[in-house]
Structure 1
Amino acid sequence: MPKRVDPTERRALIVDAYLRIVARGGVAAATSRAIAEEAGIAAGALWHHFDGLDDVVRAAFERVYGESDARIRAAVDGHRGLAAVHAMIGEIVPHDAQTRNEATVVVSFWGLLPAHESFRELTRRVEREWGAGLARHLDEAVSDGDLVAATPVQALADALLAVCDALQLREVQASDSGKTRRRTELIERLLAAWAVGR
Protein backbone atom coordinates (compact mmCIF):
# COMPACT_ATOMS: atom_id res chain seq x y z
CA MET A 1 0.00 0.00 0.00
CA PRO A 2 1.26 3.50 -0.78
CA LYS A 3 2.19 5.56 2.26
CA ARG A 4 -0.62 7.86 3.39
CA VAL A 5 0.32 11.53 3.04
CA ASP A 6 -0.82 13.95 5.73
CA PRO A 7 -2.15 16.98 3.77
CA THR A 8 -1.28 19.47 6.52
CA GLU A 9 2.28 18.17 6.78
CA ARG A 10 2.68 18.16 3.01
CA ARG A 11 1.46 21.76 2.74
CA ALA A 12 3.91 22.79 5.46
CA LEU A 13 6.72 20.96 3.64
CA ILE A 14 5.94 22.85 0.42
CA VAL A 15 5.78 26.21 2.18
CA ASP A 16 9.10 25.45 3.91
CA ALA A 17 10.64 24.71 0.51
CA TYR A 18 9.28 27.94 -0.94
CA LEU A 19 10.67 30.00 1.93
CA ARG A 20 14.13 28.40 1.66
CA ILE A 21 14.28 29.10 -2.07
CA VAL A 22 13.23 32.73 -1.60
CA ALA A 23 15.85 33.13 1.13
CA ARG A 24 18.58 31.82 -1.17
CA GLY A 25 17.64 33.23 -4.54
CA GLY A 26 14.69 35.57 -4.25
CA VAL A 27 11.12 35.20 -5.45
CA ALA A 28 12.03 34.71 -9.12
CA ALA A 29 13.84 31.49 -8.21
CA ALA A 30 10.73 29.99 -6.60
CA THR A 31 9.28 28.25 -9.65
CA SER A 32 6.97 25.30 -9.26
CA ARG A 33 9.74 22.95 -10.45
CA ALA A 34 12.24 24.42 -7.98
CA ILE A 35 9.75 24.15 -5.11
CA ALA A 36 8.99 20.51 -5.94
CA GLU A 37 12.69 19.65 -6.13
CA GLU A 38 13.40 21.46 -2.86
CA ALA A 39 10.51 19.65 -1.16
CA GLY A 40 11.55 16.30 -2.61
CA ILE A 41 8.23 15.62 -4.30
CA ALA A 42 6.97 15.30 -7.86
CA ALA A 43 6.02 18.60 -9.51
CA GLY A 44 2.45 17.42 -10.07
CA ALA A 45 2.08 16.66 -6.36
CA LEU A 46 2.26 20.39 -5.58
CA TRP A 47 -1.17 20.91 -7.05
CA HIS A 48 -2.75 18.18 -4.94
CA HIS A 49 -2.26 20.57 -2.01
CA PHE A 50 -2.36 24.06 -3.55
CA ASP A 51 -4.47 25.65 -6.28
CA GLY A 52 -1.45 27.26 -7.92
CA LEU A 53 1.75 29.15 -7.25
CA ASP A 54 -0.17 32.19 -5.95
CA ASP A 55 -1.77 29.92 -3.35
CA VAL A 56 1.70 28.83 -2.20
CA VAL A 57 2.74 32.48 -1.87
CA ARG A 58 -0.38 33.20 0.17
CA ALA A 59 0.36 30.29 2.50
CA ALA A 60 3.94 31.56 2.87
CA PHE A 61 2.65 35.04 3.73
CA GLU A 62 0.28 33.57 6.32
CA ARG A 63 3.19 31.63 7.82
CA VAL A 64 5.37 34.75 7.95
CA TYR A 65 2.54 36.78 9.49
CA GLY A 66 1.83 34.10 12.09
CA GLU A 67 5.48 33.82 13.09
CA SER A 68 5.90 37.60 13.18
CA ASP A 69 2.78 37.97 15.30
CA ALA A 70 4.03 35.35 17.76
CA ARG A 71 7.36 37.17 18.06
CA ILE A 72 5.57 40.48 18.62
CA ARG A 73 3.45 39.01 21.42
CA ALA A 74 6.56 37.56 23.08
CA ALA A 75 8.54 40.81 22.69
CA VAL A 76 5.71 42.98 24.06
CA ASP A 77 4.97 40.68 27.00
CA GLY A 78 5.68 42.58 30.22
CA HIS A 79 6.00 45.96 28.46
CA ARG A 80 3.63 48.85 27.88
CA GLY A 81 3.66 52.30 26.35
CA LEU A 82 6.67 53.35 24.30
CA ALA A 83 8.65 50.26 25.32
CA ALA A 84 5.90 48.10 23.81
CA VAL A 85 5.76 50.29 20.67
CA HIS A 86 9.50 49.83 20.13
CA ALA A 87 9.20 46.09 20.82
CA MET A 88 6.47 45.74 18.19
CA ILE A 89 8.34 47.73 15.58
CA GLY A 90 11.51 45.79 16.32
CA GLU A 91 9.80 42.58 15.24
CA ILE A 92 8.15 44.03 12.11
CA VAL A 93 11.12 45.89 10.65
CA PRO A 94 13.82 43.63 9.10
CA HIS A 95 16.87 43.31 11.35
CA ASP A 96 18.29 39.80 10.94
CA ALA A 97 18.39 36.96 8.40
CA GLN A 98 14.92 35.67 9.29
CA THR A 99 13.17 39.03 9.14
CA ARG A 100 15.02 40.01 5.96
CA ASN A 101 13.82 36.80 4.31
CA GLU A 102 10.33 37.48 5.60
CA ALA A 103 10.42 40.96 4.05
CA THR A 104 11.18 39.39 0.67
CA VAL A 105 8.12 37.14 0.99
CA VAL A 106 5.90 40.00 2.16
CA VAL A 107 6.95 42.36 -0.63
CA SER A 108 6.44 39.62 -3.24
CA PHE A 109 2.97 39.00 -1.82
CA TRP A 110 2.13 42.69 -2.19
CA GLY A 111 2.75 42.34 -5.92
CA LEU A 112 -0.19 39.93 -6.14
CA LEU A 113 -2.68 42.20 -4.36
CA PRO A 114 -4.24 43.92 -7.41
CA ALA A 115 -5.43 40.59 -8.79
CA HIS A 116 -6.74 39.02 -5.57
CA GLU A 117 -9.36 40.57 -3.32
CA SER A 118 -8.89 37.78 -0.78
CA PHE A 119 -5.19 38.68 -0.60
CA ARG A 120 -6.05 42.35 -0.05
CA GLU A 121 -8.39 41.39 2.78
CA LEU A 122 -5.62 39.36 4.40
CA THR A 123 -3.23 42.33 4.36
CA ARG A 124 -6.00 44.61 5.67
CA ARG A 125 -6.52 42.20 8.57
CA VAL A 126 -2.81 42.35 9.43
CA GLU A 127 -2.96 46.15 9.21
CA ARG A 128 -5.99 46.30 11.50
CA GLU A 129 -4.51 43.97 14.11
CA TRP A 130 -1.04 45.49 14.24
CA GLY A 131 -2.43 49.02 13.96
CA ALA A 132 -4.72 48.36 16.92
CA GLY A 133 -1.77 47.07 18.93
CA LEU A 134 0.33 50.15 18.18
CA ALA A 135 -2.60 52.46 18.99
CA ARG A 136 -3.19 50.69 22.31
CA HIS A 137 0.44 51.09 23.34
CA LEU A 138 0.52 54.72 22.20
CA ASP A 139 -2.55 55.33 24.38
CA GLU A 140 -0.60 53.79 27.27
CA ALA A 141 2.29 56.16 26.53
CA VAL A 142 -0.12 59.10 26.76
CA SER A 143 -1.47 57.75 30.07
CA ASP A 144 2.08 57.23 31.33
CA GLY A 145 2.95 60.85 30.55
CA ASP A 146 5.52 60.03 27.86
CA LEU A 147 3.44 61.47 25.02
CA VAL A 148 1.36 64.65 25.18
CA ALA A 149 -2.40 64.39 25.69
CA ALA A 150 -3.00 65.86 22.21
CA THR A 151 -1.17 62.99 20.50
CA PRO A 152 -3.25 61.83 17.48
CA VAL A 153 -2.93 58.22 18.54
CA GLN A 154 -4.66 56.51 15.61
CA ALA A 155 -2.96 58.68 13.00
CA LEU A 156 0.42 58.13 14.64
CA ALA A 157 -0.17 54.37 14.74
CA ASP A 158 -1.08 54.45 11.04
CA ALA A 159 2.07 56.45 10.25
CA LEU A 160 4.31 54.07 12.22
CA LEU A 161 2.80 51.05 10.47
CA ALA A 162 3.21 52.72 7.06
CA VAL A 163 6.88 53.36 7.87
CA CYS A 164 7.32 49.71 8.83
CA ASP A 165 5.85 48.70 5.45
CA ALA A 166 8.19 51.10 3.67
CA LEU A 167 11.20 49.79 5.57
CA GLN A 168 10.36 46.23 4.52
CA LEU A 169 10.31 47.39 0.90
CA ARG A 170 13.57 49.29 1.33
CA GLU A 171 15.21 46.21 2.82
CA VAL A 172 14.29 44.25 -0.31
CA GLN A 173 15.56 47.14 -2.44
CA ALA A 174 18.80 47.18 -0.42
CA SER A 175 18.25 50.92 0.06
CA ASP A 176 20.56 52.93 2.32
CA SER A 177 17.51 54.36 4.06
CA GLY A 178 16.69 50.86 5.31
CA LYS A 179 19.90 50.69 7.35
CA THR A 180 19.51 50.34 11.10
CA ARG A 181 20.67 53.82 12.16
CA ARG A 182 18.57 55.69 9.61
CA ARG A 183 15.41 53.69 10.22
CA THR A 184 15.80 54.14 13.99
CA GLU A 185 16.09 57.89 13.48
CA LEU A 186 12.95 57.87 11.34
CA ILE A 187 10.88 56.10 13.99
CA GLU A 188 12.28 58.33 16.74
CA ARG A 189 11.44 61.51 14.80
CA LEU A 190 7.82 60.41 14.41
CA LEU A 191 7.51 59.74 18.14
CA ALA A 192 9.55 62.78 19.24
CA ALA A 193 7.04 65.17 17.68
CA TRP A 194 4.58 64.18 20.42
CA ALA A 195 6.97 63.55 23.30
CA VAL A 196 6.42 65.35 26.58
CA GLY A 197 8.97 68.10 27.08
CA ARG A 198 10.22 68.11 23.50
Structure 2
Amino acid sequence: MREGDNVPKIVDHDQRRSEIVEAFLAVVARDGLSAATSRAIAAELGIGTGALWHYFDGFDEVAAGAYMRITERTNDRIAAATAGLRGLDAFYAMIREILPLTKETRDEAFVVVAFWGRLAANSKIDQSRADVGDNWGGQIAGRLAEAIEDGVLTATIPIPEVVEVVLMICIGQQVSAVMADPMVDAGRRLAMIDHCLSPWRP
Protein backbone atom coordinates (compact mmCIF):
# COMPACT_ATOMS: atom_id res chain seq x y z
CA MET A 1 0.00 0.00 0.00
CA ARG A 2 1.37 3.37 -0.97
CA GLU A 3 1.71 6.09 1.63
CA GLY A 4 -1.44 8.19 1.67
CA ASP A 5 -3.77 5.46 0.35
CA ASN A 6 -7.11 5.23 2.15
CA VAL A 7 -6.47 8.51 3.96
CA PRO A 8 -9.77 10.44 4.17
CA LYS A 9 -9.76 13.71 2.29
CA ILE A 10 -9.90 16.65 4.67
CA VAL A 11 -12.62 19.11 3.71
CA ASP A 12 -12.78 22.59 5.19
CA HIS A 13 -16.29 22.68 6.66
CA ASP A 14 -16.70 26.47 6.53
CA GLN A 15 -15.30 26.64 3.00
CA ARG A 16 -17.71 24.00 1.74
CA ARG A 17 -20.66 25.77 3.41
CA SER A 18 -19.58 28.97 1.67
CA GLU A 19 -19.33 27.15 -1.67
CA ILE A 20 -22.85 25.76 -1.26
CA VAL A 21 -24.23 29.24 -0.52
CA GLU A 22 -22.43 30.67 -3.56
CA ALA A 23 -23.77 27.84 -5.73
CA PHE A 24 -27.30 28.60 -4.51
CA LEU A 25 -26.90 32.28 -5.41
CA ALA A 26 -25.36 31.39 -8.79
CA VAL A 27 -28.35 29.22 -9.69
CA VAL A 28 -30.76 31.96 -8.62
CA ALA A 29 -28.93 34.57 -10.72
CA ARG A 30 -28.86 32.33 -13.79
CA ASP A 31 -32.13 30.39 -13.63
CA GLY A 32 -34.32 32.08 -11.00
CA LEU A 33 -35.23 31.23 -7.42
CA SER A 34 -37.64 28.44 -8.34
CA ALA A 35 -34.78 26.57 -10.03
CA ALA A 36 -32.55 26.68 -6.95
CA THR A 37 -33.35 23.16 -5.74
CA SER A 38 -31.00 20.94 -3.79
CA ARG A 39 -30.44 18.90 -6.97
CA ALA A 40 -29.50 22.05 -8.94
CA ILE A 41 -27.16 23.29 -6.21
CA ALA A 42 -25.44 19.90 -6.02
CA ALA A 43 -25.08 19.82 -9.81
CA GLU A 44 -23.56 23.31 -9.73
CA LEU A 45 -20.88 21.98 -7.39
CA GLY A 46 -20.49 18.60 -9.08
CA ILE A 47 -21.40 16.66 -5.93
CA GLY A 48 -24.18 14.33 -4.89
CA THR A 49 -27.34 15.87 -3.48
CA GLY A 50 -26.92 14.05 -0.19
CA ALA A 51 -23.52 15.66 0.31
CA LEU A 52 -25.20 19.06 0.83
CA TRP A 53 -26.72 17.92 4.07
CA HIS A 54 -23.36 17.04 5.60
CA TYR A 55 -22.88 20.81 5.91
CA PHE A 56 -26.41 22.15 6.45
CA ASP A 57 -29.29 20.74 8.47
CA GLY A 58 -31.80 21.79 5.83
CA PHE A 59 -32.73 24.32 3.19
CA ASP A 60 -33.65 26.90 5.83
CA GLU A 61 -29.99 27.07 6.82
CA VAL A 62 -28.93 27.47 3.19
CA ALA A 63 -31.43 30.34 2.81
CA ALA A 64 -30.09 31.96 5.99
CA GLY A 65 -26.54 31.66 4.71
CA ALA A 66 -27.56 33.23 1.40
CA TYR A 67 -29.30 36.08 3.23
CA MET A 68 -26.15 36.81 5.21
CA ARG A 69 -23.98 36.64 2.07
CA ILE A 70 -26.26 39.12 0.31
CA THR A 71 -26.04 41.43 3.31
CA GLU A 72 -22.24 41.26 3.15
CA ARG A 73 -22.26 41.97 -0.59
CA THR A 74 -24.62 44.90 -0.14
CA ASN A 75 -22.47 46.36 2.63
CA ASP A 76 -19.41 46.05 0.38
CA ARG A 77 -21.22 47.81 -2.47
CA ILE A 78 -22.41 50.57 -0.14
CA ALA A 79 -18.89 51.14 1.14
CA ALA A 80 -17.54 51.38 -2.41
CA ALA A 81 -20.38 53.56 -3.71
CA THR A 82 -20.23 56.06 -0.84
CA ALA A 83 -16.45 56.36 -0.62
CA GLY A 84 -15.54 60.05 -0.66
CA LEU A 85 -19.20 61.16 -0.53
CA ARG A 86 -21.24 62.75 2.24
CA GLY A 87 -24.74 64.04 2.90
CA LEU A 88 -27.44 63.38 0.34
CA ASP A 89 -24.94 62.26 -2.29
CA ALA A 90 -23.86 59.44 0.00
CA PHE A 91 -27.46 58.81 1.05
CA TYR A 92 -28.68 58.24 -2.51
CA ALA A 93 -25.59 56.21 -3.43
CA MET A 94 -26.40 53.93 -0.49
CA ILE A 95 -30.10 53.63 -1.31
CA ARG A 96 -29.31 52.67 -4.91
CA GLU A 97 -27.39 49.65 -3.62
CA ILE A 98 -30.35 48.51 -1.49
CA LEU A 99 -33.33 49.10 -3.76
CA PRO A 100 -34.00 46.45 -6.47
CA LEU A 101 -32.88 48.67 -9.35
CA THR A 102 -30.62 46.25 -11.24
CA LYS A 103 -30.72 42.56 -12.15
CA GLU A 104 -28.29 41.85 -9.32
CA THR A 105 -30.36 43.60 -6.67
CA ARG A 106 -33.62 42.14 -8.05
CA ASP A 107 -32.13 38.63 -7.83
CA GLU A 108 -31.10 39.44 -4.28
CA ALA A 109 -34.63 40.62 -3.48
CA PHE A 110 -36.02 37.19 -4.43
CA VAL A 111 -33.59 35.48 -2.05
CA VAL A 112 -34.17 37.98 0.76
CA VAL A 113 -37.97 37.84 0.56
CA ALA A 114 -37.86 34.03 0.40
CA PHE A 115 -35.71 34.03 3.54
CA TRP A 116 -38.25 36.24 5.31
CA GLY A 117 -40.93 33.70 4.41
CA ARG A 118 -38.88 30.87 5.86
CA LEU A 119 -38.15 32.96 8.95
CA ALA A 120 -41.88 33.38 9.56
CA ALA A 121 -42.26 29.60 9.61
CA ASN A 122 -39.04 28.73 11.43
CA SER A 123 -37.96 31.15 14.14
CA LYS A 124 -34.87 29.03 14.88
CA ILE A 125 -33.05 30.52 11.89
CA ASP A 126 -33.57 34.04 13.28
CA GLN A 127 -30.22 33.73 15.09
CA SER A 128 -28.51 33.52 11.69
CA ARG A 129 -30.03 36.77 10.49
CA ALA A 130 -27.69 39.72 10.17
CA ASP A 131 -29.23 42.75 11.87
CA VAL A 132 -29.08 45.19 8.98
CA GLY A 133 -31.68 47.56 10.42
CA ASP A 134 -29.38 49.07 13.03
CA ASN A 135 -26.41 49.17 10.67
CA TRP A 136 -28.17 50.73 7.68
CA GLY A 137 -30.36 52.90 9.88
CA GLY A 138 -27.32 54.33 11.60
CA GLN A 139 -25.64 55.07 8.28
CA ILE A 140 -28.75 56.76 6.88
CA ALA A 141 -29.15 58.87 10.02
CA GLY A 142 -25.54 59.98 9.72
CA ARG A 143 -25.98 60.99 6.08
CA LEU A 144 -29.12 62.97 6.88
CA ALA A 145 -27.29 64.76 9.69
CA GLU A 146 -24.55 65.67 7.20
CA ALA A 147 -27.22 66.96 4.81
CA ILE A 148 -28.43 69.32 7.55
CA GLU A 149 -24.86 70.54 8.04
CA ASP A 150 -24.58 71.05 4.26
CA GLY A 151 -27.77 73.13 4.25
CA VAL A 152 -29.70 70.85 1.89
CA LEU A 153 -32.10 69.63 4.59
CA THR A 154 -33.64 71.71 7.35
CA ALA A 155 -32.85 70.98 10.99
CA THR A 156 -36.53 70.28 11.66
CA ILE A 157 -36.38 66.89 9.91
CA PRO A 158 -37.28 64.12 12.39
CA ILE A 159 -34.34 61.88 11.51
CA PRO A 160 -35.34 58.70 13.43
CA GLU A 161 -38.82 58.70 11.92
CA VAL A 162 -37.56 59.41 8.39
CA VAL A 163 -34.96 56.65 8.69
CA GLU A 164 -37.69 54.21 9.66
CA VAL A 165 -39.86 55.21 6.70
CA VAL A 166 -36.93 54.96 4.27
CA LEU A 167 -36.07 51.46 5.49
CA MET A 168 -39.70 50.39 5.23
CA ILE A 169 -39.80 51.68 1.64
CA CYS A 170 -36.69 49.66 0.83
CA ILE A 171 -38.26 46.53 2.31
CA GLY A 172 -41.54 47.18 0.52
CA GLN A 173 -39.78 47.67 -2.80
CA GLN A 174 -37.99 44.34 -2.42
CA VAL A 175 -41.34 42.65 -1.89
CA SER A 176 -42.76 44.57 -4.86
CA ALA A 177 -39.92 43.31 -7.07
CA VAL A 178 -40.88 39.75 -6.16
CA MET A 179 -44.67 40.06 -6.25
CA ALA A 180 -45.05 42.46 -9.17
CA ASP A 181 -43.19 43.33 -12.36
CA PRO A 182 -39.43 43.23 -11.56
CA MET A 183 -38.80 45.68 -14.41
CA VAL A 184 -40.86 48.47 -12.83
CA ASP A 185 -39.31 51.84 -13.56
CA ALA A 186 -36.35 52.51 -11.26
CA GLY A 187 -37.18 56.20 -11.22
CA ARG A 188 -40.48 55.52 -9.46
CA ARG A 189 -38.70 53.60 -6.72
CA LEU A 190 -36.31 56.49 -6.13
CA ALA A 191 -39.17 59.01 -6.33
CA MET A 192 -40.67 57.44 -3.20
CA ILE A 193 -37.45 58.23 -1.35
CA ASP A 194 -37.46 61.79 -2.73
CA HIS A 195 -41.02 62.23 -1.47
CA CYS A 196 -39.94 61.33 2.08
CA LEU A 197 -37.36 64.10 2.11
CA SER A 198 -39.26 66.80 0.23
CA PRO A 199 -40.92 68.45 3.30
CA TRP A 200 -37.49 69.29 4.73
CA ARG A 201 -35.73 70.58 1.66
CA PRO A 202 -35.14 74.33 2.06
- State TM-score, norm by structure 2: 0.88
Which shows bigger deviation, 80-89 or 167-176?
167-176
Aligned mate of 2:162, from 156, 172, 197: 156
Asked if residue 93 in structure 1 is aligned to residue 99 in structure 2, the reply is yes
Structure-1 residue corresponding to 2:14: 8
Q: How many residues align?
A: 196
Residue 109 of structure 1, CA deviation: 0.8
Gaps of 5+ in 1: none
Q: Could you tell me whether the CA contact under 8 Å between 2:68 and 2:129 is conserved in 1?
A: no
Distance change in 2, residues 1:178/1:159 (3 Å): farther
- State TM-score, norm by structure 1: 0.90
Residue 101 of structure 1, CA deviation: 1.1
Distance change in 2, residues 1:105/1:114 (3 Å): same
Which shows bigger deviation, 25-34 or 9-18?
25-34
Q: Could you tell me whether the CA contact under 8 Å between 2:100 and 2:109 is conserved in 1?
A: yes
Q: Could you tell me whether the CA contact under 8 Å between 2:61 and 2:125 is conserved in 1?
A: no
Gaps of 5+ in 2: 1-6
Structure-2 residue corresponding to 1:185: 191
Residue 68 of structure 1, CA deviation: 0.3
Instruction: Give runs of aligned pairs for residues 115-154 of structure 1, distance below 5 A.
Output: 115-117=121-123, 119-120=125-126, 125-154=131-160
Residue 191 of structure 1, CA deviation: 1.2
Instruction: Look up the SS of the partner of 1:48 in the other structure.
Output: coil
Distance change in 2, residues 1:170/1:81 (3 Å): same
User: Max radius of gyration: which structure?
Assistant: 2
Structure-2 residue corresponding to 1:39: 45
Q: Could you tell me whether the CA contact under 8 Å between 2:60 and 2:125 is conserved in 1?
A: no
Q: Could you tell me whether the CA contact under 8 Å between 1:22 and 1:29 is conserved in 2?
A: yes
Q: Could you tell me whether the CA contact under 8 Å between 1:167 and 1:178 is conserved in 2?
A: no
Kindly, what percent of the aligned residue pairs are identical? Answer: 44
Aligned mate of 1:23, from 29, 35, 59: 29
Structure-2 residue corresponding to 1:76: 82
Aligned mates of 1:169, 1:2 — CA distance in 2: 46
CA RMSD of aligned residues (A): 1.9
What is the CA deviation profile of residues 73-128 of structure 1, one whole-angstrom value per residue up to 9, with x for unaligned ones?
11111111111110110110122222121111111111112234354466571111
Residue 194 of structure 1, CA deviation: 1.1
Q: Could you tell me whether the CA contact under 8 Å between 1:170 and 1:178 is conserved in 2?
A: no
Structure-2 residue corresponding to 1:104: 110
Distance change in 2, residues 1:162/1:123 (3 Å): farther
Instruction: Look up the SS of the partner of 2:165 in the other structure.
Output: helix
